[in-house]
Structure 1
Amino acid sequence: MEVTLHPSYLAKSYYPAGLIDALGLHHLGSRAVHVIPDKVVTAKAEESGKAQPAPVLYLAGDADRLIEFSRAVANWSPRDENIEDAFRRIESVTVPGRNRLKALSSRFDGRDTIPMEVVLHNPDELGNSEVILTFAEFLRSLDVRFDLNRQRQSGGLAFLPIVAPRERLDDVLDFSFLRVLREAPRIVPFDPVVRSVGRGFPVTISTEEAVAPDLSVAIFDGGLPVSHGLDQWVTLRDAAGVGAAVASAQAHGLAVTSSFLFGPLSQGQPVQKPYANVDHWRVYGDTDSTSDFEAFDILDRIEAVLTSRRYDFINISLGPDYAVDDDDVSPWTARLDQILSNGETVATIACGNNGERDRLKGLHRVQPPSDGVNMLAVGASDSFGSDWKRASYSACGPGRSPGYVKPDFVAFGGSHSSPFLALSAVQPHAASGTMGTSFAAPLAMRSGAGVRAQFTEPLWAPAVKALLVHHANGDETTRRETGWGFLSHGLGDLVLCDDYEAHIVYQRLMPTTGAVRLYLPVPDGLTGMVEIKATFSFFCEVDPEDAINYTRAGLDIQFRPDTTSLPAPYYKGAKLITPTVPASDSFFSAKNFYATEHMQRDDAQKWETTLSRTKTKRASSLNQPAFDVSYVAREHGHGGRRSANMKFALALTIRNRSAKDLYDRVIVSSGNRLQAMRPRVGVQVPIRLPR
């Protein structure tokens, strides 16, 4: 069944666990739907008459028991008032409908049978094999071909490829545990937006070692040409089961690898020094170009590598060619989010070159797996000057919620007027212009590796992710197109402080009980206004079957401008309230984070894995200011356990025009709480790029 609750009951505390247990039901998953409720139950006048986000719960139970309950419901009187109250929150109850069949493209117009991807509810508590085996028997009765060996499980969802006669698609929907039936995705071809822009030019490759050879980096792509000449920094590996190399895929892999190693090339300029060595994993072969289910096979190859090896950074510039869906999660997104949830790896993902597709149908939105919450979705800018804009081909947001801000940011990806110059030939090396998010993503990974390579202190993946988002230069009005903004590929812009400012990085393991207080090192004696920019980032486990409650962890962040005093007692009605904690001031809230028509629920931003905002306060109002950070947990939309190893990071910038030496004053005033980050021996301090 699909049970829709009233929009006022989105928070995890309203989950009707008692009612579900009383009726002997099982939770299968959830998604969001926008409804106009029959009754407004809160004082928010703006809610009346407007569609609001409401939770839809997928529930399963014994049919006979439900029929018996429906006959007796008029006289039903539960003993528990909480169960009775939960029943009142139900807006509607339906069986799964025909909307589970997603719109088909013209790709298979000439075929009588269509390769499809099936998503099934397959929860652990019902036995992982029961639903799958029953579905297989059902498909045999319909004369629909399937391959159980390709079935993949992510959380409570099973993904299975089938080949169905066109006239049988509606019949497949009769299986009640089927959540989605959609066309099998094709992998985005290895052609950039354009093959080349302008004339090529020769490139002389340096022989310098990488700055930080201890960093482990992987690129998953189409391989490299024979005698590529990058052996000093690149180890070429073939994933298990991959077919023979394809020339166009190798050319794509060469340009992607060039972007990470050297950044955008410049004719007549020396090639930049690589920050790290890289394993280039070839995951695409000639058999994939003729397969209807290459997306399943390529994901299997990437997963096999990531579950057997640990990497500090990975880049993926390929993926399924369809836009993100608010209701359901791609197997690419689900599996990679699960693998990366431990917070050990920074993953940059090209968000797609579909930005010019139909906006009314949402076909311009980011493509999986860039909608993942444990990954960085990278879009493309048309230049890297101060007048940059989103490249017209670069996919747009929003992402799913949580994961609303997608792409996370944009990096230079090239345009007709300012192409991305990357290696295009070997022996001798030559470069030519190209463009695409495929090259912006590894350029962003290069920036992240550069930050890690710069310092002796080991920065965790959440800290690197926070720093990249923190230094993205953007505008809230263009957030849906460019995320948090434009990421400079100049290392100096990411690791150096200007006059009148100080950058601070905190990284912590969240305790399983209590809260963490992070002091903002605002020195005494400042005058005027103090600008505070804060970016929080963390990695967490996910529930793929619960699209509306996808993340299992969140941060409750309270900003306290003055931690040295308590507010005066006050009356609330007739009751005297005596505060026991310093007063808080709003810093992050759904109102300044979400678009009003998307998912503006009171606690929505709490479940986002990345938050960034700038706030200005009078210096006189700040007295040992701090963020109090609490860890909130949920599973399947209701209360859950806290993970014992959830990492989070805070990137913080303080600016004040009365203190040119603010950085030095912050170090002195912080005592031993803060330490200056030290560059590696022999690493030159980079210059700032002109703005």
Structure 2
Amino acid sequence: MSQAGAEAQSRPLLVNGEALKIDVTAPSGGGGPKYEPRTAQDAASFLLPQLTTALEDVRDLPQQLRAEDRIYVEAKLVANYLAPSYFPTPLLAQIGATPVGSRADVGLYQTSSKSEQVQTRRLVFTVPDTGLAAFESLVRTGGHGRTQAQAFAEIRKLDEVALPDPARVLRAPHHAIEDAALHVGARTWEAILHPRTTLSGDAVPLEEATLLRWFELIETHNGHVHRDFVRQVGGLTFTPVTMPSDEDAAALASFNPLRTLRPMPAIRPRPRFGLRSGNRLGPPASSRPVDTSVKVAVFDGGVDIQNGASQLFPIATPDLTSEPVDRDALDHGTGVTGAVLYGLVAPGQQAPQPPLPVESFRVLPAPIDEEDLEGYWVLDQIKVAIETGGHKLVNLSLGPEVAVEDDLEPNRWTSELDQLAWENDVLFVIAAGNDGEQDRATGLHRVQVPADMANGIAVGACDAPMPTKPWARAPYSSMGPGRHGARVQPLGVQFGGVDNRLFDVLRSDGSFLEASGTSFAAPVTTHALADLITRLPRVNSSVLRAFITHFAEPHRSHNKLRHEVGYGRHALSFQDALECGPDEAHILIVDDIERGDLLGYQVPVPAGSTGNLDLRLTLAYATPVDPTEPTEYTNAALEMLLRPHHQMYGFAPPPGTDAKRQTLDVRSAEARQLLIDGWKQSQEPTARSLGAPKGANEAQLRDSGKWETVRYHKVSLKPGEVELPRLEVAYVARRTGAIDNAPSKVPFAMLVSIRDKDASGTLYDAIRTQHKALLPAQRSRGRIRTRSSDQPHWY
């Protein structure tokens, strides 16, 4: 058979979709006047007493409980003003305040006809004592001159102003802090200190003088600072401290620059293993990886190098810890590494050829005396290894035993790894956690850190692998929602074993133990992604996140179970996904977008198509993150819009009439008559809503995924609704919660699937014929593309 004939039969997934880029014009600003729930004068009546109290609190605050030259103040935003464009910059500038972060909160969103409780946030800013007095004077007098009047108008956006509440700063254990009988003796706490911010807006750690005051306060209460483990992330200072009692810890919460004080979490417990299987896994026909240009890292309990490990585990196994081997940790690390190498295998089978080289780093147990600091030490090792090792795919089946919380306070694991992912274009695949059966009222069932990463993939567990049906979430698998920017968590699920169908955990000699847990689901997904890398001509972390989402199998009740199973069950292999049927086509678009840009892409529906079509659209991108802003954690938002028909426009009736807006083909006689009658035609073709309802407020936009780094949509289009359709991608950025106009570039990937539901048998071939720029995906040969730049960078 000729090469052309074989290619026509195989119908590969199509790449180079960025060649479908077309010129588009950003629509002019629209929308009616914004509803203002109150005036500045209304706000002044209740803010003035609060500011007077705040000034009194500052005067009463001892020097040892504050920074050298400033006070940290919180201001709760009215929920109507969540969007970055409403950030009260003129007010903060007038009083000499500098924003340093925010906290999650709830507040009232009001319109002329209704009000509802939604999520909002508390701005945190620093201000000199004179600035706080100036704030009080501005609210009391209304200001003088245009600049002060503009600043005064901004106070309508605020509900509360106060110094940080120690009760909010202190994150008590599950028992009440006053009930000392439930905890006797010392406890290690994680203290997080606010940053100070430079005039350029960059968050930087606290100065030495303020840190010394903090350390002295701890020592005054007979505490101990673990100075060797003090870390700075995104301007925040993470300080492990051991206090002799919970009462002594509570005394620290009044330190004004302190953001959070909470018990230090331990590393998650490992699953229990069952009996060994009698049958073994045969070694692969070739132990040489299919592709050696990309490395995979595993951080766990190591690999058992005894009993013929060289045949099944011909990999590097660096020891980052000098501690003696822990048997349970070693079995866990060996099983996790085996699943990364070979995927889901069973006794009696032969191992497949590993797709990529793997390094399995032994990081457990940690070589430190303070068991509570094990998580800090492990994270340090991961960070150094990734920054120096060049790994692009990382499996983490470990992490701290702490569930993500609704108030989304910063977490060092999540923040460090998200920054590593952004800076190094590395993808972390993380086990979601095994606490799904814990108490829901307290949130203990939620995904565990760092599975709430915005730039990673969190994997939960299900009770059956593909293609077995029916399937469901494994009862122990931790659930969402995650943090803002990654609310859909876990992103998906993979088989991890359940009581009546346990996971076969590979040992170094080819025998198996039995267990269950997301620890084993995650590496099966990591293996599938490693194999995918070998099958595509270019890959970055965004491409991998798009594939794992786009080709997940939705649960039959996916709309109800999104927080349980994410976008669905992960594939064991993408081999089938890389092949299209005659009535479908999958197109991959890999591109960059500049801040403020609007990009357009032709959706390659064949000209003259008259069938019923299904479109599936997945967008994934990497973003810088801001750990000081829990509700504004992702700095970039890519918004996707579909315009299905290039000739269908909206027509608005003339003012003063009762007629309703219409959507018509501009070529029709009816449309021409409306224009003659004074109707106004929209600037751009009519768009199909993707996610949020039309006219959604900012809180609804966020709930529907405006700032999510992975977006998935399915759209059905009837005959006559499609002609030269296009997708538009826009990029909005924020910094300290406000719109950021500084130049920046974000990489993204989109997968577009088109299916002809009428089964004409010609759709794929028609797309190939009409869009020559689209190329069939071919297996890589040593060159894998990472984040794009002006000149493509390869590794």
Shift of 1:423: 0.9
Change (3 A) 1:72 1:29: closer
When normalised by structure 1's length, the TM-score is: 0.91
Amino acid at match of 1:33: D
- Residue 22 of structure 1 is matched in structure 2 by 94
- Residue 119 of structure 2 is matched in structure 1 by 53
- Residue 687 of structure 1 is matched in structure 2 by none
Amino acid at match of 2:687: S
- Residue 264 of structure 2 is matched in structure 1 by 184
1:453 maps to 2:534: yes
- Residue 221 of structure 1 is matched in structure 2 by 300
Amino acid at match of 1:621: E
Give secondary structure in 2 for the equivalent of 1:441.
Answer: helix
Give secondary structure in 2 for the equivalent of 1:524.
Answer: coil
Change (3 A) 1:354 1:569: closer
- Residue 787 of structure 2 is matched in structure 1 by none
Match of 1:357 among 435, 438, 463: 438
Amino acid at match of 1:147: H
- Cα distance in 1, alignment partners of residues 305 and 314 from structure 2: 15
- Residue 232 of structure 2 is matched in structure 1 by 153
- Residue 689 of structure 1 is matched in structure 2 by none
- Cα distance in 2, alignment partners of residues 670 and 678 from structure 1: 18
- Cα distance in 2, alignment partners of residues 641 and 230 from structure 1: 55
Q: Which moved more, 1:512-521 or 1:415-424?
A: 512-521
- Residue 204 of structure 1 is matched in structure 2 by 282
1:275 maps to 2:343: no
Q: Any gaps of 5 or more consecutive residues in structure 2? A: 1-72, 199-203, 658-677, 783-795
- Cα distance in 1, alignment partners of residues 419 and 366 from structure 2: 29
- Cα distance in 2, alignment partners of residues 132 and 108 from structure 1: 32
Change (3 A) 1:573 1:119: farther
Change (3 A) 1:86 1:255: same
Change (3 A) 1:511 1:613: same
- Residue 189 of structure 2 is matched in structure 1 by 116
Residues 319-350 of structure 1 deviation map (CA, whole Å, 9 limit, x = unaligned): 01010023212100001101111462221001
Does the 8 A contact of 2:546 with 2:749 survive in 1?
A: yes
Structure 2 counterparts to residues 379-390 of structure 1, below 5 A: 379-384=460-465, 385-390=468-473
Change (3 A) 1:280 1:642: farther
Shift of 1:435: 1.1
- Cα distance in 2, alignment partners of residues 172 and 416 from structure 1: 46
Amino acid at match of 2:692: S
Q: Which moved more, 1:114-123 or 1:142-151?
A: 142-151
Give secondary structure in 1 for the equivalent of 2:132.
Answer: helix
- Residue 254 of structure 1 is matched in structure 2 by 334
Bigger Rg, structure 1 or 2: 2
- Residue 70 of structure 2 is matched in structure 1 by none
- Residue 129 of structure 1 is matched in structure 2 by 207
- Residue 132 of structure 2 is matched in structure 1 by 66
- Cα distance in 2, alignment partners of residues 602 and 329 from structure 1: 19
- Residue 441 of structure 1 is matched in structure 2 by 522
Amino acid at match of 1:318: L
Which fold has the larger relative contact order, with Cα–Cα distance below 8 Å and residues 6 or more apart in sequence? 2
- Residue 89 of structure 1 is matched in structure 2 by 157
1:510 maps to 2:593: yes
Give secondary structure in 2 for the equivalent of 1:442.
Answer: helix
Amino acid at match of 2:501: S
Give secondary structure in 2 for the equivalent of 1:51.
Answer: strand
Shift of 1:416: 1.4
Change (3 A) 1:502 1:288: farther
- Residue 273 of structure 2 is matched in structure 1 by 195
Change (3 A) 1:578 1:203: closer
- Residue 35 of structure 2 is matched in structure 1 by none
Shift of 1:218: 0.7
Match of 1:583 among 676, 686, 694: 686
Shift of 1:252: 0.6
Match of 1:495 among 578, 594, 613: 578
- Residue 238 of structure 1 is matched in structure 2 by 319
Match of 1:317 among 392, 397, 417: 397
Give secondary structure in 2 for the equivalent of 1:305.
Answer: helix
Residues 530-571 of structure 1 deviation map (CA, whole Å, 9 limit, x = unaligned): 101100000010110000111111112221112356555764
Give secondary structure in 1 for the equivalent of 2:413.
Answer: helix
- Cα distance in 2, alignment partners of residues 439 and 340 from structure 1: 22
- Cα distance in 2, alignment partners of residues 511 and 94 from structure 1: 38
- Residue 43 of structure 2 is matched in structure 1 by none
Does the 8 A contact of 1:468 with 1:494 survive in 2?
A: no
- Cα distance in 1, alignment partners of residues 121 and 259 from structure 2: 16
Change (3 A) 1:72 1:649: closer
- Residue 415 of structure 2 is matched in structure 1 by 334
Does the 8 A contact of 1:558 with 1:627 survive in 2?
A: yes
Change (3 A) 1:160 1:494: farther
- Cα distance in 2, alignment partners of residues 117 and 402 from structure 1: 24
1:100 maps to 2:199: no
Give secondary structure in 1 for the equivalent of 2:273.
Answer: strand
- Residue 81 of structure 2 is matched in structure 1 by 9
Q: Which moved more, 1:577-586 or 1:24-33?
A: 577-586
Change (3 A) 1:233 1:562: farther
- Residue 393 of structure 1 is matched in structure 2 by 476
Q: Which moved more, 1:141-150 or 1:442-451?
A: 141-150
Amino acid at match of 1:501: E
Shift of 1:178: 1.0
- Residue 686 of structure 1 is matched in structure 2 by none
Percent identical among aligned pairs is 29
- Cα distance in 1, alignment partners of residues 369 and 338 from structure 2: 24
- Residue 610 of structure 1 is matched in structure 2 by 710
Shift of 1:123: 2.6
Give secondary structure in 1 for the equivalent of 2:530.
Answer: helix
Match of 1:138 among 209, 214, 217: 217
Residues 240-266 of structure 1 deviation map (CA, whole Å, 9 limit, x = unaligned): x55333221111110001111111222
What is the RMSD computed on CA atoms of the aligned residues?
A: 2.6
- Cα distance in 2, alignment partners of residues 665 and 288 from structure 1: 64
Structure 2 counterparts to residues 650-665 of structure 1, below 5 A: 650-658=750-758, 659-665=760-766
Does the 8 A contact of 1:376 with 1:408 survive in 2?
A: yes
Q: How many residues align?
A: 666
- Residue 685 of structure 1 is matched in structure 2 by none
Q: Which moved more, 1:484-493 or 1:375-384?
A: 484-493
- Cα distance in 2, alignment partners of residues 489 and 288 from structure 1: 38
Does the 8 A contact of 1:557 with 1:588 survive in 2?
A: no
Match of 2:427 among 330, 343, 346: 346
Residues 450-496 of structure 1 deviation map (CA, whole Å, 9 limit, x = unaligned): 111113x1122211110111111121211010111111203334322
Amino acid at match of 1:293: L
Does the 8 A contact of 1:225 with 1:247 survive in 2?
A: no
Give secondary structure in 1 for the equivalent of 2:547.
Answer: helix
- Cα distance in 2, alignment partners of residues 629 and 640 from structure 1: 18
Give secondary structure in 1 for the equivalent of 2:106.
Answer: strand
- Cα distance in 1, alignment partners of residues 278 and 344 from structure 2: 14
Shift of 1:625: 0.6
Shift of 1:225: 1.3
Amino acid at match of 2:636: A
- Cα distance in 1, alignment partners of residues 553 and 340 from structure 2: 21
Does the 8 A contact of 1:559 with 1:584 survive in 2?
A: yes
Shift of 1:30: 1.0
Change (3 A) 1:127 1:304: closer
Give secondary structure in 2 for the equivalent of 1:557.
Answer: strand
Change (3 A) 1:599 1:253: farther
Does the 8 A contact of 1:534 with 1:650 survive in 2?
A: yes
- Cα distance in 1, alignment partners of residues 248 and 654 from structure 2: 67
Does the 8 A contact of 2:595 with 2:732 survive in 1?
A: no
Structure 2 counterparts to residues 528-547 of structure 1, below 5 A: 528-547=611-630
Q: Which moved more, 1:378-387 or 1:656-665?
A: 656-665
